[in-house]
Amino acid sequence: MAQQIADRRDVDFVLHEQLDVAQFSAHEKFEEYNRKTIDLVVSEARNLSIKEILPTQKIGDQEGCHLENGQVIVPEVFQRLYDIFCEGEWLAMSEDPQWGGQGMPRTVAMACADYFNGANYAFMMYPGLTHGAGKLVEAFGTDEQKKLFLKNMFTGKWTGTMLLTEPGAGSDVGALETSAVKNEDGTYSITGGKIFISSGEHGLVENIIHPVLARIDGAPAGTKGISLFIVPKIWVNPDGSLGEPNDVVCTGVEEKMGIHGNPTCSLTLGGKGQCRGLLLGEENKGMRAMFLMMNEARLLVGMQGFCCASASYLNALDYARQRIQGKNLLQMMDKDAPAVPIIQHPDVRRMLMTMKTYISAMRSLLYYVGFCEDMKHVTDDEAVADKYQGLIEVLTPIAKGYVTDRAFEMCNLGMQVYGGYGYIREYPQEQLVRDCRITQIYEGTNGIQAMDLLGRKLGMKKGKPVMDLFGEIQATIARAKKVESLQPAAEAVEKALNKLGEIAMHMGATAMSPKVLAAFAHAYPFMDASGDVVMAWMLLWRGVVADEKIKTAKKKDQDFYEGQFKQLDFFVRSILPITIGKMKAIQNTCEAAVEISDDAFGGK
């Protein structure tokens, strides 16, 4: 039974029918990316994923990474795979070709990432973090720093990481203790220790570039005094040649539940007093700069979780079609009735329908965030660009927090469809559950994503980005109301949207009142309800497109479009009523969780 990754028909539907990404070829920046080119690119990404990346998924999980004589050993098969990946120029798909990118629309890159991460996202963390680190150099680096580092990173000659977390400063980055002292030559001596560093040390490349958050001596306390530095594993000379090792030492590799193919490292900087770094951007502006990478990383994490769910669904669907077990429910009393594939059993169909519905909506959302990024780049209207940037910022906590929550649930369902076999390592489902779980934790736990949505995004720019999002949803509802068969669904989504607007105002007011703690105790349910409404929007949008297409569709596409209507019907009638209940509960703003004393929790 072959493992699955992503449904190509659904990928094409979102790219070409829902978002019409070929429209970007009318603009000079993306003029090479017409429909034919886009399809060729996605096909190449799919082929690479199936033929080269997917076979390493289980191997990477079984071999894992370990520290040996100060060096981190990664799965042996990754070296060849990494070289092939970089030769194909896949690392910086959306970046400027002068720095080693392909200059493609971000939406198309999302489709490629759909396949890559579905095939083996533990491996994809090496190039993924490298791209994010490179974006920091591109955005904040001097011309000299770009010349030294950017192309080497975007082509994958060197990899990159992100050094934020410390033992005493996890989510509270402002409590970090890593220090920086300016030297006479303009470099900085860096001293400190970082933990939970993905891809922090390995031998895939000759150099690793670490963006490091540290506090310059005398800087203000908290996040206001944090600066960002480029700290290479091997020092880079002004002419681009490599110098001496830079006193960055891996002191341990974590034993983890999942993503075994990627090392999660502890790094000591300046243990011998010989670690040097280059200031990246301005002094004391490091957190502001690092958020650029963190926001990109959060979208990547949403994609990672989603891809686990997508693969789990397709595996479960294939298994359910082949696994013969039990009689059809309508023939239970017939002793001669044959056993049937489990896809005929209602509860299995419920699980598959739940998975299909969420995965369709999540794919549309993630691609849509990439679409918003592309829209920013094809407009000369600053107000339009600001609108799409606002949509990206509002949707980021949902694309990371909500999506990974649902993705993990879908992976659990995918295991359940297999029954006992799903729990056994011979089959892929249990690894997908293990690998998916971290996506709810790293790059800001999902609780932090919820706090970000409530505390920052809801009132950002006096609420304009949220209202812009509501406007986009209303526009889809208006289109759907013109279709008689979609009117009930449109009305249900509109009811949920209106209720969400009411709850958003309630939460915003409560967060500004003496009940602020109670408000933030409900931030997570608020993100959950917001995500449900966004999912309903994406499914309604799909329904509108399907209605337009099914009238002239070829017979082979009829079932696909019919599936869009059924998943919309399923979500609106089975899930959205629960969302309304969630919002009523939020409106109650129960204070028990913040009023209960520490001792009353018990456990002593």
Q: Given its phi and psi angles, is residue 165 left (phi above 0), alpha (psi -120 to 50 degrees) or beta?
A: beta
Burial class (CB in 10 A: 0-12, 13-18, 19+), 281: buried
Task: Tell me the longest C-alpha to C-alpha distance in the chain.
Answer: 89
Among 88, 269, 249, residue whose Cα is nearest residue 178 = 269
Alpha-carbon dihedral angle through residues 572, 574, 576, 581, given to the nearest 10 degrees: 150
Clarify whether 443 is annotated catalytic: yes
Alpha-carbon distance of 129 to 135, in angstroms, equals 10
Question: Among the options 443, 491, 591, 595, which is catalytic?
Answer: 443
pLDDT at 289: 85
DSSP code for 169:
B
What lies within 8 Å, CB to CB, of 177 at 6+ separation is: 166, 168, 169, 192, 215
Residue 234 and residue 199 in contact, taking contact as beta carbons nearer than 8 Å: no
Residue 308 and residue 116 in contact, taking contact as beta carbons nearer than 8 Å: no
Phi–psi pair at 22, nearest 5 degrees: -65, -15
pLDDT mean for each 10 residues of the chain (604 residues): 84 98 96 97 97 97 94 97 97 94 96 97 96 94 96 97 87 84 96 96 97 93 92 96 96 97 97 96 90 85 98 97 94 91 97 98 98 95 96 97 98 98 96 98 94 95 97 98 98 98 96 94 97 98 97 90 98 98 95 93 87
Phi–psi pair at 241, nearest 5 degrees: -75, 160
Alpha-carbon distance of 403 to 396, in angstroms, equals 10
Residue 489 and residue 569 in contact, taking contact as beta carbons nearer than 8 Å: yes
| Residue environment code for 345-377, b if the CB has 16+ CB neighbours within 10 A, otherwise e | beebeebbbbbbbbbbbbbbbbbbbbbbbbbbe
